Amino acid sequence: MISIATFRRPDLLSQLLEACTAQATEVDANVRIVVVDNDPRESARSTVAGFPSVEYLAEPTPGIAAARNRGLDATRDADDAIIFVDDDEIPMAGWLRALLAYADQERADIVTGPVEPLITDAVPRWIVSGGFWRRQNSVSGSVPNSVATNNTLLRLAAWRVSGTRFSEALSMKGGSDTEFFRALRAAAPLIVLWCADAVVQEHVIPERANARWLFRRAIRIGNINARYRKRTNALVGGIARISIGAPFIALDFLTHRQPMARSWNMLAHGLGMVGNVFNVDVVEYRRTTNGA
């Protein structure tokens, strides 16, 4: 089963569903595709209606964690695995076949793969040259340090034993997927692997192609990282990152005439870690109950 949580992205969702339905017909498996609409106005219903084989579910509780949990609840006894993919992504050719085949070949409980940026001319060049959208990649068979829901297969047997849920307390702050997979891995010994051939591309949407969003996002990642450290370690680690990142940003402007992701993120991660220690977190996904 492919689970897609969505919120007011009809055009991107349509592109994703076209790719998923096409790839589902290419594999020798019974693949269900389920869209969970997190908009109380059910704005995705008309988009999904254009794909008869796709199932539509409405989840009015605001927050990505509630939508992801609804996807888990939609699984059936006959479903062997759930595949999470985001509504701003589009899978590359052979993505689904590679993900399923690798999970079977390695008898893996969790398989995750690369998320590559889909960059258009609308994205400022400094963001590209500074490496701000460079995502993690590795060789197939390596064990990822963390797992997200942007391109991941989870065997349902591993989930059903633990009954782990996405924390709705983190819906607006982010990181509920990181915590979910950490909890799963802590509950039982699981085989968690990287599959380099299962590639999706992520649209770099205009609202995210600016300095403010990138800096806030990096601070939020620091918030998340601090959650899994002792407060003293988070504070010391955060201060160390700030102390190193700040002068390197100045050096980047002297040598490259622009910020570079490594220095920028080190400073922002440090600020996020210190902020978390003092209960000051970025609330990136804030919404009102009516979805605004």
In this structure, the answer to whether residues 85 and 130 fall within a common structural domain is: yes
In this structure, the answer to whether residues 42 and 125 fall within a common structural domain is: yes
pLDDT score at 292 = 47
CATH code: domain of residue 62: 3.90.550.10
Spatial contact of 193 and 140, defined as CB atoms under 8 Å apart: yes
pTM: 0.91
Q: Is residue 157 part of a domain?
A: yes
Whether residue 290 is predicted with pLDDT greater than 90 in this model: the reply is no
In this structure, the answer to whether residues 31 and 100 fall within a common structural domain is: yes
Number of domains in the chain: 2
Q: Is residue 292 part of a domain?
A: no
Q: Is residue 283 part of a domain?
A: no
Spatial contact of 132 and 256, defined as CB atoms under 8 Å apart: no
Q: Is residue 203 part of a domain?
A: yes
Cα separation, 192 vs 189, in Å, equals: 9
Q: Is residue 282 part of a domain?
A: no
Q: Is residue 291 part of a domain?
A: no
Q: How confident is the model at residue 116 (pLDDT cuts 50, 70, 90)?
A: very high
In this structure, the answer to whether residues 18 and 97 fall within a common structural domain is: yes
Residue 2 three-state SS:
strand
In this structure, the answer to whether residues 196 and 221 fall within a common structural domain is: no
In this structure, the answer to whether residues 188 and 230 fall within a common structural domain is: no
Q: Which of 190, 207, 224 is the last residue of a domain?
A: 207
Which of the 8 DSSP states describes residue 279?
Answer: T
In this structure, the answer to whether residues 201 and 221 fall within a common structural domain is: no
Q: Identify the bridge partners of residue 203 per DSSP, sorted by sequence position.
A: 118
In this structure, the answer to whether residues 202 and 231 fall within a common structural domain is: no
How many other C-beta atoms can be found within 10 angstroms of the C-beta atom of residue 74? 18
Q: Which of 172, 188, 207 is the last residue of a domain?
A: 207
pLDDT per position as a tens digit, 183-236: 999 998 999 999 999 999 999 988 889 999 999 999 999 999 898 899 999 999
Spatial contact of 35 and 56, defined as CB atoms under 8 Å apart: yes
In this structure, the answer to whether residues 153 and 18 fall within a common structural domain is: yes
Q: Is residue 61 part of a domain?
A: yes
Task: Give the strand pairing for 54-58 and 110-112.
Answer: unpaired
pLDDT score at 44 = 98
Which alpha helices (H) appear in the chain, and where do they start and end? 10-24, 45-49, 64-73, 95-106, 125-129, 156-162, 176-187, 211-227, 231-255, 261-277
Task: Give the strand pairing for 151-155 and 200-203.
Answer: unpaired
Q: Which of 207, 223, 244 is the last residue of a domain?
A: 207
pLDDT, average across residues 76-84: 96
- What is the crossing angle of helices 64-73 and 176-187, to 10°? 50
Cβ-based burial of 161 (10 A; exposed 0-12, middle 13-18, buried ≥19) = exposed
In this structure, the answer to whether residues 170 and 229 fall within a common structural domain is: no
% of the chain surpassing 70 pLDDT: 97
Q: Select from 257, 155, 274 the least CA-distant residue to 219.
A: 274
Question: Of the given ranges (29-33, 83-87, 130-134, 234-238), which has the lowest mean pLDDT?
Answer: 130-134
Sequence-ordered list of residues with C-beta below 8 angstroms from that of 167, at least 6 positions apart, any chain? 65, 176, 179, 180
Spatial contact of 269 and 218, defined as CB atoms under 8 Å apart: yes
In this structure, the answer to whether residues 185 and 44 fall within a common structural domain is: yes
Which range of residues forms the domain containing residue 264?
A: 210-277
Q: Is residue 269 part of a domain?
A: yes
In this structure, the answer to whether residues 64 and 119 fall within a common structural domain is: yes
pLDDT, average across residues 70-90: 97
